[in-house]
Structure 1
Amino acid sequence: MEVRLRAFRAMMAVVLAVTVAAGCGGEVDTASPRTGPLRVGLVYDIGGRGDKSYNDAAAAGVDDAKRNLSDMRVREVEAAPGEPAARKVERVRALAEAGYDPIIAVGYSYAPALARIAPKFPRTRFAIVDEPTVSGPNITNLLFASEQGSFLMGATAAMKSRTGDVGFIGGNRSPLVRKFEVGYVQGVKHVNPRARIRIAYLTGSRDLSGFERPDKAREAARRMYRAGADVVYQVAGASGAGVFRAAKQAGAWAIGVDYDQAKSADPAVRDVVLTSMIKRIDVAVYDYLADVVDHTVTSGRIVYDLKLGGVDYTLTGGHITDIQPKLEQLKQEIIYGRVKVSPG
């Protein structure tokens, strides 16, 4: 793991140098060196550590950093279902006032909080995962080309479907989740232009409860399977567990997200996880903390794409080894621009 991370960080150094030269952000960290353990604030999205998906990927990056980098003291707090935006502001402010630096926000829902708090604490370093719109000289945006990874999921679904009928379930209709849908649809149509694609969102764009409603996700997936879909891709956080249960009941396939969910899902349903689109949030968080330790943090956007290994697919269970050569070919075509994937 450590060797892979070091190699990844070496590639990122080149990307950052190009970003700075291009004038696209990249202000150098100016925080004064501090003595004692690094005090890291980690604010999770709904579900927190233990969601076996998005938040756990960020937690894994922090855990790796604690093992392999300098002495760290980490304070972890998580969002509550249905909480007002002001609560996130209070949470981030409390960490900054308590002297935590850096503060890492997991998820786009923290954008308003960082936009409000970061300017008031200019010597504190902030990072936010999956949110490009909030910016500042002390804010780093850790982003992923999720549409590229989802394109591969769509291609996989189309190649493995026997009915030519597949589905997509999103936790909410936010721009972030829409990127997954857009990439998935492009991948399906690239392989099978005549495929039927069923799409459902559990809540609206501002309602985060859709990421912890496995009952609602299960019902949405059941309707898709009953209607003829035999592969469903879920981008729904903890709600994805409901999709896996529905797939098990239907004798069909489901596709996981963010994490290798054939390893993290309930053992009773792991055999229905065809593959997972992984986002290396762990690598992004680790890299960011390594830069903090080295005093080389830059502000602005860092995009982890297929070329840098920031998004990829899993082979656990051996269900897609037969189509792996085709997926690898598609991956290379995307990396070298022969296949264009629109983010939406």
Structure 2
Amino acid sequence: MRTPTIPPTEIPMVQPPKIEACMVAEVETIEDNIYLSLMWDGVQAAEEHLDVVGRYVVIQQDSDLVRIINELNDGDCDLILLAGFYSNDEISRTAAANPDRLFTTVGYLHDLTYDNVLGQVYKIDQVAFLAGYLAAGITKTGILGTYGGANVDTVRDFMDGYALGAQYYNRQHGTNVEVLGWDPITRSGLITGNFVDREDGRRMGEQLLDAGADVILPAAGTQGFGTADVVLERGGAYIIGVDYDWALAEPAYADITLTSIIKKNDVFVFTAIQQVVEGDFSGGIYTGTLENGDIGLAPFHNLDGLVSEGLRSELDRIREAIIAGEIQTKPEE
């Protein structure tokens, strides 16, 4: 008698669970916030290329942060992306209590030493210095303007660099270009107290234009669109965009956007998620600089003709000098 052949049992392949990246922020509509949009672009890129699940979680106020993070800790979030000005105490308590959960903060320096927290900051003063030098090189009135959404380090870096870049241009060329709206010595100036109210942006734009400024850097998120609206209506002046290339992403302002100060938030977020996927995430602080290419000036696009070859060459030389540490782009402490 032949022994019956028993077909092998097919063992179904068990797919490993997908990595889930949860982004936590205080703004309900991502599209209304430049900074968050770039971060979310990084999450979406990870969804497309790394087979990751992304989730966006809104908190209404700072006091909700610990509660919401605890809820996320009880769920499936492998990486929690914190977008906002959260306190060290809030993040420290949660990170210390959950050493197996991974966190990253974007754009705001936290004094944390946990292996499960990766912080990311930018030396944005380096690029803002170039923007100030550029603006001083093309101004017709000899007056530049700037203002900020809040008097915090990440905003001050924009305005410090901008003012010091213009001052450096003056020393190189014997000119007397003035920067209204910010004093890098006293660290004081025009602050609106928010990043989204376009009417506040309009008022700041009107105030600076009335005072003679013809190149304005609004370090205030989407509030800067209100300033751009006023510049567009009045003419004879230009805007320097922040965080991403305004001439490309906001085509209505392409004819008035001299350049933009770019941060590659999306690249950092994607890289952090990729580290989780590949199992090599580590805590600490990652800094975006001119040298590593995570920050920079956008092309001049429609206003390319305003920038002479000589000024371009100067900007190239100054960029290299900043990278070499030969030019200081922040005020002395």
TM norm structure 2: 0.84
Q: 1:124 aligns with which of 101, 105, 116?
A: 101
Deviations 1:238-284 (A, max 9, x none): 2111111111122110111111111222x433321111000111111
The equivalent of 2:192 in structure 1 is 202
Distance in 1 (alpha carbons) for counterparts of 2:20 and 2:208: 46
Question: How far off its partner does 1:47 sit?
Answer: 6.4
Q: Provide the aligned C-alpha RMSD in A.
A: 2.0
Structure 1 343/43 Cα, relative in aligned 2: closer, same or farther at 3 Å?
farther
Question: How far off its partner does 1:316 sit?
Answer: 4.8
Alpha carbons 2:149, 2:192 under 8 Å: kept: yes
AA partner of residue 102 (structure 2): R
Q: 1:105 aligns with which of 62, 82, 85?
A: 82
The equivalent of 1:229 in structure 2 is 213
The equivalent of 1:189 in structure 2 is 167
Alpha carbons 2:256, 2:303 under 8 Å: kept: no
Q: How does 1:198-277 map to 2 (within 5 A)?
A: 198-199=180-181, 200-203=190-193, 210-251=194-235, 252-265=237-250, 267-277=251-261
Q: Which has the larger displacement, 95-104 or 42-51?
A: 42-51
Question: How far off its partner does 1:111 sit?
Answer: 4.5
TM norm structure 1: 0.82
Q: 1:296 aligns with which of 276, 280, 285?
A: 280
Distance in 2 (alpha carbons) for counterparts of 1:110 and 1:242: 30
Higher relative contact order (CA 8 A, sep 6+): 1
The equivalent of 1:20 in structure 2 is none
Q: 2:48 aligns with which of 56, 67, 72?
A: 67
Distance in 2 (alpha carbons) for counterparts of 1:343 and 1:87: 36
Question: How far off its partner does 1:112 sit?
Answer: 4.5
Distance in 1 (alpha carbons) for counterparts of 2:47 and 2:312: 35
The equivalent of 1:43 in structure 2 is 24
Matched length: 300
Question: How far off its partner does 1:183 sit?
Answer: 1.2
Alignment partner of 1:149 is 2:136: no
Alignment partner of 1:340 is 2:328: yes
- What secondary structure, in the 3-state scheme, does the structure 2 residue paired with 1:93 have? helix
- What secondary structure, in the 3-state scheme, does the structure 1 residue paired with 2:31 have? coil
Alpha carbons 1:105, 1:128 under 8 Å: kept: yes
Distance in 2 (alpha carbons) for counterparts of 1:50 and 1:297: 29
Question: How far off its partner does 1:187 sit?
Answer: 0.8
Question: How far off its partner does 1:343 sit?
Answer: 6.4
AA partner of residue 140 (structure 2): R
Distance in 2 (alpha carbons) for counterparts of 1:51 and 1:191: 35
Question: How far off its partner does 1:325 sit?
Answer: 2.8
Q: Which has the higher Rg, Structure 1 or Structure 2? A: 2
The equivalent of 1:172 in structure 2 is 150
Identity of aligned residues (%): 27
Alpha carbons 1:305, 1:311 under 8 Å: kept: yes
Question: How far off its partner does 1:291 sit?
Answer: 1.1
Q: Which has the larger displacement, 152-161 or 224-233?
A: 152-161
Question: How far off its partner does 1:45 sit?
Answer: 4.6
